[in-house]
Amino acid sequence: MTRLKYAIAAAWLAFSPIVFAADGRFAVDGVSFEYGDSNSSNSDVKLYRVGLQWDWKKRWLDTGSWHLGGYWDLGLGYWDNRTRAPLKTHGSITDIGFTPVLRFQQSNPRGLSPYVEAAIGLHLLSATSVSTERRFGSSFQFGDHLGFGVRFGDKGQFDLGYRYQHLSNGGIKKPNQGITFNQIRLQYHF
């Protein structure tokens, strides 16, 4: 748990000048916190991730009430590998990801505003396996996810969602066993 505290503190210190940029050029539109679980027969990994988001400020398929939009998502994750010995290969992994996210959502989020989203992004991992039976082949990974959730609050500033995310190297290098996370995500929109 101590490593997790250090990872969150480092992320906050690294990103805080961007979050509070005075001239607005690099100011972010949101911050998120995620928890995920990949419990399977050959790995037990918990995911903790903090992220920053920049809205695209574009609307497609605008019906007046709903539209297709999106945002950039930059995340720093910590994987707590709880796989049992002798299968475990690394106790923890750091994950840096950058993902463009498409989201179909209500145009004016008020009350409870549902959404669905899909994405494919790029991830860089600090290690290439969590167990002898769960190897990724390379540190470079693609991360795709499908998600849904709801925005709420008087200005739609809160966002609670679920994501089903799979990471793999897309066959670039063998082995390519990948890993899948079920995630809960909380976001605050500035």
Task: Express as a percent the part of the chain with pLDDT over 70.
Answer: 85
Q: What is the mean pLDDT of residues 17-31?
A: 64
Q: Could you tell me if 122 and 77 are in contact, meaning their C-beta atoms sit under 8 angstroms apart?
A: no
Q: Could you tell me if 99 and 142 are in contact, meaning their C-beta atoms sit under 8 angstroms apart?
A: no
pLDDT at 1 over 60: no
CA distance linking residue 102 with residue 72, whole number of Å: 9
At position 127, the amino acid (one-letter code) is A
The predicted structure's pLDDT at residue 96: 96
- Give per-residue pLDDT as tens, 74-88: 999 999 988 887 888
Helices (H), the chain: 2-19
At position 144, the amino acid (one-letter code) is D
- Give per-residue pLDDT as tens, 116-125: 999 999 999 9
Cα–Cα nearest to 53, from 36, 76, 73: 73
Q: Could you tell me if 53 and 31 are in contact, meaning their C-beta atoms sit under 8 angstroms apart?
A: yes
Cα–Cα nearest to 124, from 98, 156, 85: 98
The predicted structure's pLDDT at residue 43: 76
DSSP 20: T
Buried-state track 74-100, b at ≥16 Cβ within 10 A, e below 16: bbbbbbebebeeebbbbebbebebebe
- Give per-residue pLDDT as tens, 127-175: 998 888 888 989 999 999 999 999 999 888 999 999 999 999 988 999 8
In the chain the first and final C-alpha atoms are separated, in Å, by 29
